[in-house]
Every structure is written in C-alpha cells, then in structure tokens.
C-alpha cells in the first residue's frame, strides 16, 4: 500500500486532522507551509514518504515509539512515562523576564548550550509581526530571542528538517505533544534526508491544550494590536479566562475573552490526545495557580540528569507540586484524551476506527484500556 | 540566407520558398512590404528587409496583420505596388479590414497578400484553410506549386490586381514556404517607384481614385462582382494553369498547390500516364470555369487533390451541376468520398492510395518485412516531447505561477495565449495554461472570467501573453478589463523578442525590421496609462516573483499586470551574451529517487540541460545543452546543483 504525499493529504490534511507540527515540510520540496496551511506544490511520485511516516496523525505505534524513546513499552495512564514531578523556575532574572511562566525551558537550553551538552536548540521563534517560525538557536542571545510562548501553530519542526542531513550538531528540540510524537516516530524510523535523530540529545515537551490556526487567528490578532509592539502573549490561569498580550513599554496589557479566541483553534488540535507531550525527556508547562512557576515532568534518565545539573548549578529552583495540583493535572490530561477519542469517533463514524490512535487497529482498544477510558 | 537583391538573373539559386516569394516582390517592383511574423510565413519580411538597403523598398514588421494590410493598402492608395505577408491565423486578424477593402478596391499600385497556410499544423495552434476568405470577399486567389512558381505568381498577381483593381491573394503552404529548391531569378525593375501621392479630391483631370470609402455598399457591391468576372476571364488563360495526360482520360485529377507534384509522382509510380491526366490549377478563385468545363467533358471520373478544405472540389462540383447535361455522368473522388482527408498534409503516398483504389490497382509501396523493420526502428528513437529551451525564462515564469497558485490555494488558473509560452498547456509549463485560442484571447477571456465573482467564481484569474502578443492584440483586452473593472492578473512574459517565430523585433525592442533604431513603446508605461497596477519581476528571482504573484492575486479588485522581464536565452546566444553560471551537480548530495526529491529536476522541472547519469543514477548537467541560467540551483531541494559564477 502506498503511503506518500497523496495519502497524507487524503487522510490527514484534507480531513482537518493536521496538527501543524511541521514534520512533513522542508525536508520535502513538494510540501510547504504557507499562511498557516500545509500546501502541496506538486505531485511526488514516491509511494513511501517520510511525510506520511512521521506525521503524528497518520498512525501511531505507542509501544514502538516508546521503545525508541524510552527503551520500554508505553505505560499509558493520564500522562505516560513519568519519573519525577515538581515545580521549577529560573533563577536568572533576564530569563524570568523573557521566558514564559518560570522560564524553565529557556534555562535548561541555556545550560545545555553552556555545558556543551548540545550545540543548537531547535524551537519556535516569533518574527517581528509575531508569526511563529521554526528556529535554531546556537547562543544564549539567540535563545532569549526565541523565548516566550506563541499560541499559534508554527510548523516549527521544519527547523530540524532544514538542517543539513550530514550535520553532526548535538541538538535539543522543544515542541508540543504533536511535535514530540513526530520526533518519536523520527527516532523510530530515521528520515532519509535530515540529521541523524541520535543527535537529538534532549526533547523538551511543552504542555498544550490546543494551538490557534494562523490562517484566521493571525489576521484577527493583527486587527487587535500593533503586533510589533507586543513582547509577550499569555493565557493566565483560571479564574481569569482570557488571552492577553503585553507590551514592551509598560503599556497596559490587552485582553480578550477565550470565547472569542476559541473559534480560531486549529481543527487538528481537537484530535490530539497528548496534553503533556508524553514522548519527551522533560515536559514543562504552567504551574497554573503558582504564577511565575512551571510544572515539570521528568520522563527519561537523561532528562533527570539535565534537571539535576540545573538544580546543582543553581540555575533552577524547585519545589514540590501539591497533591491536589497533580490530581488536577492528571484530570486535565485525561480529559484531553477523552475529548480526542470522542472527536476521532465522530470523524471516523465508528468506535472501532480510532484513526491515528487506532493504527495498527488491534492496538486501539489496548491503548484505551491503558488510558482507562474504555 | 542569400541576399535576394543580389541574385544574378538567369542563374540557378537554391532558395527557400519564402525567399522566392520575397524575390518575386522585388521583381514586381513593389515599394511597400509589411507583415507580422508567423510560421510558415516568417522569412519573407526578413529577406525583404535585408534587401531593403540595395533597393528602394520600404519594409516593416507591423504590430499585427490587420495593421500590416492597412499599411500596405496605404501604399497602394498612394500609387505604390505594395505587399503584405502573414500566416493563416493572421488572415483572420486582417479580415476586418479586407472585407471592406474589397468594396473600395485598391489604389493605383497593385496589392498582393501572401498567406502561408500550415496543413498539419506543425507550427500553429490551429489548422485552417485561408482560401475561403478569397471566396468570402470575392477577390482573386492563386496557389503556387513550387518556389519558382511562387516567385512568378507574385509578379503576375500584381498585374491581375491592377487589372481588376482588387487585392489579390497568393496562398502558400508550409511545404512551399520552407522547402529549399532551385529558383531562377528574373530581372529586377530598373525604373524608380512612381511618386507617392494620395489623389486629390474633385480633380477631374486625375484619373486616379481619390476616395476609398466602403459605403454606400450597394454602389460598390455590383462592380465588385463585375471585377470578379473580369478576373475569371483573365484566369481562363493563366500561364499557371496547365494540363498533362491523354485527351480522354479514365480519370481526371484536378490538383493545386503543393499537392500537384504528389499527383505527378503518383501517376508515374503507378504507370498511369496513358490513363490518368492532371489538370493543375494555379488560379483557384474565381474558378476558370471554361477551362475546367472543357476538361470535365473529356472524362467521367474526377479526383480532387488539394490540402485541407475541399475548396476546388466544391467549386467544380457546383460547376458540374450547372453543366449538366453537357458532361457525362461524373463520379467525384476526393475529400467528400473519403479518398483523401480534408485535414493534415497530403503526400505522394496518400495520392497513390487514392489512385490505386479508384483505378483498381493493388499497390504495395514497400515490402512487408521492410515496413516491419521501419516500425521497429521507429520504436528505438526516444520520444521528443515539446519543450522550452534550456535557460528559457518562461520555465521560470511558469514555475513561479505553479507554486504561487498552489500557495494561494484558491484554484487560480491561467488563460494562455499564443507564443512560446503556449507550451504552458503541457509539461514544459507544468500544465498551467488552461486556454489557448487566438492572439490576445487569454486576456479577453480573463477580462470576462474576472467579472464572474457575482456568480460565485472566487478563483484568482490570471492571463499570460508575450511582449509581441501584447502589442498585437492584448492592449484592447487589457483596456476592456480596466474599463469594466474586471479582476485579473495579466503576466506579460517579456523576453525582448518575438521569440517563437525567429526573434523578430517589435514595438518594445527599440529596433525596426530593417535594423534602424526605433522608439520603445514601453510596456510599464502603456499598462499604467491604461489604469492597471503594474509590477516588474525577473522570473529568475523565484521568491520575489512568487511573492509578487501572491500579492497581486490577493488584491480583491482591478486589473493587475506583472511584467516578467528576462531576455530569451536564444536572443542572448545570438547577441553572444555569455552564460551567467557554470553548473555542476554534487552527486554525493543529489537525492535522486530518494524521499525528499524524487527527481524534481528531471521529472518535473524538465529543463533539457538536466539529465540522469546512467551510471550513478544521479542528476547531471548536459553541458552541450546547459545555458548556464542557474535556475535549477534554486529548485534543487538538496542543494546538489551548484552554479559557479563565470
């Protein structure tokens, strides 16, 4: 059976399932991201394509990817493989100012660069007009420029795919669940024309409930404010229910209700089961009711080593995540899975066809049981 | 090409048919020659232009065929023998003027139009028999059967034209225009051109016509038919009509034009000289009825051999109906009977096939084993699909269009036009051009399609035309679009030449047909003055070109023009402009069939300068063909194609 660009478009993109991770683009001359869409520029005659193989929405072999990433089968549960859970924040005031919440991601990347653990960090960077792009940072300065959250789909794995295949740079890659899933698939079946995935020393996952579709959201955002003046976007914890944009010059922040924002959610995000980026070395998100702190899930031994080094060097300070916060996190992660399964069933029209979750099909019931949502 | 002004009279010269026609124009002493390029007629004007410095003929490339005939008619009105040349499609453009010129008649100087048709359509986007126009407008028509005859016929056509005061057509075909054969030139006239003057009005002593107004038509229509009858009388004894064969043939072939020689060969090949005769008609409209009737009465079977429409066939059948019962019961063979086709080129083989069938002869042209070998040998020849030249800027333009339309994502489409960029309908232009009709039609179609938003058409509408086509027929369509507030984007593929027909100059090139400097009619200025939004791009700057296209397509109303300016690679070659890049492929980087490429350069991009190395399977540069334009380095996803600046 052919699994190339045509199938990718038939099964994923034209069905509104695309998460916008960017794994299919740049390594391929036929697929590009443009104005928030994935576009096929031409016909590719290849019957087997990395585009199809690495897409997190075509099929997902949980155990196979888990083996490739953690060396063991997929444990299931609300948040997948977890070794440690705590809260953390940066001690560096500059990072605290520029980064999101506690600045943990930027701190870890800066440390890894400084210690020579990596040569480059692949993440998302907003341009002057605050449109996200994949970017590669090789210095603390470049890292700080890519700090801060962007809530739009950014196709940012293109930055990894655009590195020369022969590159031996040691990499850290930052991504949301879909991107970390794609990286898991890439680790399992290395691409033919991108750097060896063994060069990826750290995968830092970002908690993500959904991302916004740039095609409609970005023009809307542009109508709200002078984007070049914005220094930070934020969705503050409940009970506030808003999307906020902060300005460089201490101007009063702008705010719109999430109800206005939500119609712009990228359709493919509704089919995502992975709030906590389960196939990363370390997953990082907001600590919600503890402003200025991050929640950190350490998933792999190498992730644990990096965190240990960070605390040892005093780059991060940590504290325990209160039990009720952990329960809430688990509940939220499970809700994301339930919602995804519901949407997927709606799309496929059958409880026996769970699309990307259910391929191979015999595993779908097994996965649902591991998630305890049978 | 020989300089046709310096040929020695009486000597034997090897001339292309179009050169022989040009020599005929000089021998006739014409003072004005005009035309618009179009194969198979394009070489006549350059031959005359080259001769212009030795003679006193005025030669021009006109912006289109209608203007060309008007220019020539102006010469005629002022008393100068004048000449005009075009291909079959050009006759349609010229028709609007010509169908009035028949009413006014010509001036003191004869007026001859040479139209070269293209049976088989090898160099045309239609296959059309232009002879019908002569019948349509009641003007005389002749058809030469060889280059020598073409030259003689042009000279004689002036005598006919002046005798009946009508424009006279000489109709060639590609086989006559392009074949090189022996031609014996005649003398060039020694006398100078008469003084050109537009006759004074109300001067009773001036016998020349002073008014050329086509109305009131009842006054002119009756005399036109009298003129046509006069032409018929002249044609009855024309030296270009001849008869060979027995007095009472079993079969009479009536042939004209290039087909005549196929008939003579066919009759000889089948040894039918004693049974079959050939009536060759050089004057085909009006039909020399007495001559034809005389021969119809000698036989009871008639075969018509002529290319494309059964033009003579129908005229003769009409005549035969009128002749009854003076003739025997006649059986007619030709296009109507299915013995020959009313399309495509004829050949000796096709005539032999018809003759053998009619005469009941079994004929095997080649033995079967040889035929089979031919089929096998043909299979060994690699296919050569149409393509644009290496380094052609149209490839860059269409690449940008293809990607721009995909990125735009609203199923935009391109209305094509006539020129090298017509190939946009096929692989070389990535199948982007979706219409192709007459010159300028792409823009007219876009002007109409761009108004259909009210009925739900929400796709971006694009049109493409070349620089020469722009001056030829696009300007009225562009004005129409602006005036009616249509919404489309016109791409002018400005490659600084009328490239498809042989790099003839045009109003944008700054040079006349005879090489003198000319004012440039600037594309940007014209389009801006018409009210369009204008941008200019070098299509080799793919990112900027794609961005510009996206920006133009995003505009919600109005007519936008993007001038894609890059000189034709062949013009660069002619001007000895060195290539910009020396290209090579780094085989270690080339992905070839692997994921991430799948032979983008040779499979899709398709420049003839790129090939697959049979040994390594990687892409390679065909150094014999590569023009060094550097475009492939931009499209290679693996950066394996590398250009070094030279």
Each residue's pLDDT tens digit, A220-229: 999 988 898 8
Counting DSSP H helices and E strands in chain B, the numbers are 21, 23
pLDDT tens-digit series, residues A357-366? 877 677 788 8
The domain limits of chain B are 13-236, 242-359, 393-574, 581-645
**Cα B75 from Cα B106, distance rounded (Å):** 10
Q: Report, at the CATH architecture level, how domain B13-236 is classified.
A: 3-Layer(aba) Sandwich (3.40)
Q: Per-residue pLDDT averaged across B331-343, rounded?
A: 97
Mutation to test the A interface, candidates B598, B619, B635, B638, most A Cβ within 10 Å: B598
Angle, helices B147-164 vs B217-236, to 10°: value is 130
CA distance B600 to B622: 16
* pLDDT higher than 80, residue A322: yes
- pLDDT-based confidence at residue B365 (cuts at 50, 70, 90): confident
Neighboring chain A residues of B640 at a CB cutoff of 8 Å: none
Average pLDDT value for chain A: 92
pLDDT at B1: 64
pLDDT one-digit tens code per residue, B433-479: 999 999 999 999 999 999 999 999 999 999 999 999 999 999 999 99
Q: For residue B588, give the chain A residue with the closest CA.
A: A166
Question: DSSP state, B600?
Answer: I
44-63 of A, contacting B, C-beta below 8 A: 44-46, 48-51
- Average pLDDT (B206-218) is 75
Across the interface, of A40, A44, A191, the residue whose CB is closest to B598 is A44
Q: What percent of chain B has pLDDT over 90?
A: 88
CA dihedral A352, A354, A359, A361 (to 10 degrees): -10
Distance CA A150, CA A143 (A): 15
Å from A167 to nearest chain B CA? 13
Which pLDDT belongs to residue B75?
Answer: 97
List CB contacts (< 8 A) between B594 and chain A: 192-193
Q: Mean pLDDT, to the nearest integer, of B510-519?
A: 95
Q: Do domains B13-236 and B242-359 have the same CATH topology?
A: yes
**Which position has the token pair 């618009």?**
B36
pLDDT number for residue B205: 67
Nearest to B595 among A32, A34, A49 (CB): A49
What residues contact residue B569 under an 8 Å CB cut-off, 6+ apart? B389, B390, B391, B392, B393, B627, B629
Q: How many CA atoms lie within 13 Å of B43's alpha carbon, on the beta-carbon side? A: 20
Q: For residue B211, name the pLDDT band (cuts at 50, 70, 90).
A: confident
| Partner-chain contact A28 B406, CB within 8 Å | no
Question: Residue B60 in contact with residue B221, Cβ under 8 Å?
Answer: no
User: Which whole number is the average pLDDT over A159-173?
Assistant: 92
Kindly report, residue by residue over B367-384, the tens digit of the pLDDT.
899 999 999 999 999 888
Given this model, what pLDDT does residue B206 score?
62
**Which CATH class for the B581-645 domain?**
alpha beta
| Residue B519, pLDDT score | 96
CATH architecture of B393-574: 3-Layer(aba) Sandwich (3.40)
Interface contact flag, B406 A40, Cβ < 8 Å: yes
State whether B407 and A41 contact (CB < 8 Å).
yes
Q: Beta B242-244 vs B276-281: how paired, if at all?
A: antiparallel
Instruction: Nearest chain A residue to B399 by CA: give it.
Output: A41
Mean local confidence (pLDDT), A285-299: 91
CB of A34 within 8 Å of a chain B CB? The answer is: yes
Q: What is the mean pLDDT of chain B?
A: 95
Given this model, what pLDDT does residue A57 score? 96
Kindly determine whether residue B596 and residue A35, on different chains, have CB atoms separated by under 8 Å. Answer: no
Q: Residue A35: pLDDT above 90? A: no
- ipTM rounded to 2 decimals: 0.89
Instruction: Report pLDDT for B204.
Output: 67
What tens digit of pLDDT does each residue of A53-74 get? Answer: 999 999 999 999 999 999 999 9
Query: Quick check: B554 contacting A, CB < 8 Å?
Result: no
Domain B242-359 adopts which CATH fold?
Answer: Rossmann fold (3.40.50)
Spatial contact of B287 and B233, defined as CB atoms under 8 Å apart: no
Strand partners, B559: B488
What residues does each domain of chain A span?
A: 5-213+265-370
């Amino acid at each position: 059976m052919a699994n190339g660009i045509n199938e990718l478009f038939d099964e994923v993109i034209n069905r509104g399932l695309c998460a916008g991770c960017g794994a299919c683009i740049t390594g391929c001359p036929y697929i590009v991201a443009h104005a928030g869409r994935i576009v096929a520029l031409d016909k590719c005659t290849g019957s087997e394509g990395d585009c199809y193989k690495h897409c997190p929405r075509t099929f997902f072999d949980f155990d196979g990817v888990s083996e490739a990433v953690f060396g063991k089968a997929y444990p299931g549960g609300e948040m997948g493989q977890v070794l440690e859970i705590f809260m953390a924040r940066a001690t560096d005031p500059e990072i605290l100012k520029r980064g999101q919440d506690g600045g943990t991601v930027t701190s870890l990347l800066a440390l890894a660069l400084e210690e020579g653990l990596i040569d480059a960090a692949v993440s998302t960077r907003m341009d002057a007009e605050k449109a996200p792009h994949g970017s590669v940072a090789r210095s603390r300065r470049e890292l700080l420029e890519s700090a801060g959250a962007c809530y739009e789909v950014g196709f940012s794995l293109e930055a990894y795919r655009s590195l020369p295949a022969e590159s031996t740079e040691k990499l850290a890659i930052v991504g949301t669940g879909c991107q970390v899933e794609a990286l898991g698939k890439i680790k399992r079946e290395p691409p033919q024309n991108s750097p060896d995935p063994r060069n990826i020393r750290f995968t830092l996952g970002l908690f993500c409930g959904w991302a916004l579709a740039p095609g409609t959201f970005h023009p809307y955002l542009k109508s709200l404010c002078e984007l070049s003046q914005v220094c930070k976007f934020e969705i503050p914890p409940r009970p506030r229910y808003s999307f906020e944009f902060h300005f460089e010059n201490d101007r009063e922040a702008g705010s719109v209700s999430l109800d206005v924002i939500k119609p712009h959610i990228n359709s493919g995000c509704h089919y995502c089961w992975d709030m906590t980026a389960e196939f990363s070395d370390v997953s990082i998100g907001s600590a919600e009711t503890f402003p200025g702190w991050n929640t950190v899930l350490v998933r792999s031994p190498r992730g644990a080593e990096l965190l240990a080094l960070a605390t040892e060097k005093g780059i991060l300070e940590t504290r325990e995540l209160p039990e009720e916060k952990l329960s809430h996190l688990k509940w939220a992660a499970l809700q994301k899975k339930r919602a995804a399964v519901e949407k997927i069933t709606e799309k496929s029209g059958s409880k026996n066809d769970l699309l990307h979750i259910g391929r191979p099909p015999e595993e779908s019931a097994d996965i649902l049981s591991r998630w305890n949502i049978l | 090409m020989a300089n046709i002004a310096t040929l020695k009279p009486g000597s034997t010269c090897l001339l292309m048919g179009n050169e022989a026609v040009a020599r005929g124009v000089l021998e006739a002493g014409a003072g004005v020659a005009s035309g618009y390029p179009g194969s198979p007629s394009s070489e006549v004007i350059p031959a005359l232009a080259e001769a212009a410095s030795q003679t006193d003929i005025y030669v021009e490339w006109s912006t289109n065929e209608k203007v060309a005939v008007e220019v020539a008619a102006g010469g005629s009105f002022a008393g100068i023998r004048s000449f005009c040349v075009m291909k079959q499609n050009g006759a349609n453009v010229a028709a609007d003027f010509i169908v009035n010129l028949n009413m006014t008649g010509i001036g003191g100087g004869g007026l001859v139009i040479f139209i070269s048709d293209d049976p088989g359509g090898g160099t045309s986007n239609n296959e059309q028999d232009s002879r019908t126009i002569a019948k349509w407008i009641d003007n005389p028509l002749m058809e030469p059967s060889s280059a020598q005859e073409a030259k003689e016929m042009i000279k004689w056509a002036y005598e006919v034209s002046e005798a009946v005061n009508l424009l006279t057509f000489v109709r060639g075909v590609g086989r006559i225009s392009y074949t090189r054969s022996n031609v014996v030139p005649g003398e060039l006239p020694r006398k100078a051109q008469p003084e050109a003057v537009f006759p004074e009005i109300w001067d009773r002593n001036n016998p020349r016509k002073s008014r050329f107004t086509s109305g009131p038509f009842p006054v002119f229509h009756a005399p036109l038919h009298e003129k046509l009858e006069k032409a018929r009388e002249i044609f009855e004894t024309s030296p270009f009509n001849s008869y060979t064969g027995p007095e009472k043939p079993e079969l009479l072939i009536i042939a004209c034009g290039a087909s005549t020689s196929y008939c003579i060969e066919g009759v000889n090949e089948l040894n039918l000289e004693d049974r079959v005769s050939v009536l060759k008609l050089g004057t085909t409209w009006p039909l020399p009825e007495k001559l034809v009737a005389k021969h119809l009465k000698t036989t009871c079977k008639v075969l018509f051999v002529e290319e494309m429409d059964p033009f003579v066939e129908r005229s003769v059948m009409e005549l035969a109906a009128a002749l009854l019962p003076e003739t025997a019961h006649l059986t007619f063979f030709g296009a109507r009977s299915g013995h020959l086709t009313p399309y495509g080129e004829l050949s000796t083989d096709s005539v032999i096939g018809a003759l053998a069938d009619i005469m009941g002869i079994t004929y095997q042209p080649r033995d079967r084993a040889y035929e089979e070998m031919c089929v096998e040998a043909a299979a060994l020849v690699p296919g050569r699909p149409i393509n644009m030249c290496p380094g052609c800027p149209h490839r860059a333009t269409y690449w940008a269009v293809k990607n721009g339309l995909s990125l735009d994502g609203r199923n935009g489409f391109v209305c094509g036009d006539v020129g090298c960029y017509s190939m946009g309908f096929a692989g070389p232009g990535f199948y982007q051009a979706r219409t192709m009709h007459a010159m300028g039609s792409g823009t007219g179609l876009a002007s109409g399609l761009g108004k259909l938003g009210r009925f739900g058409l929400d796709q971006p509408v694009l049109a493409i035309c070349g620089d020469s086509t722009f001056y030829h027929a696009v300007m009225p369509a562009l004005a129409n679009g602006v005036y009616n507030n249509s919404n489309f984007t016109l791409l002018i593929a400005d490659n600084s030449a009328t490239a498809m027909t042989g790099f003839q100059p045009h109003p944008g090139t700054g040079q006349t047909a005879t090489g003198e400097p000319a004012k440039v009619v600037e594309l940007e200025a014209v389009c801006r003055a018409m009210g369009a939004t204008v941008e200019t791009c070098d299509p080799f700057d793919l990112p900027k070109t794609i961005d510009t296209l996206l920006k133009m397509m995003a505009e919600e109303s109005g007519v936008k023009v993007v001038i894609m300016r890059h000189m034709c690679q062949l013009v660069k070659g002619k001007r000895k402009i060195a290539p910009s890049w020396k290209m090579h492929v780094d085989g270690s980087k080339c992905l070839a069939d692997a994921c991430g490429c799948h032979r983008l350069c040779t499979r899709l991009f398709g420049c003839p300068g790129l090939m697959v190395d049979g040994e390594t399977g990687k892409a390679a540069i065909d150094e014999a063909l590569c023009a060094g334009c550097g475009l492939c380095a931009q499209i290679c996803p693996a950066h394996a194609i590398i250009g070094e600046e030279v």
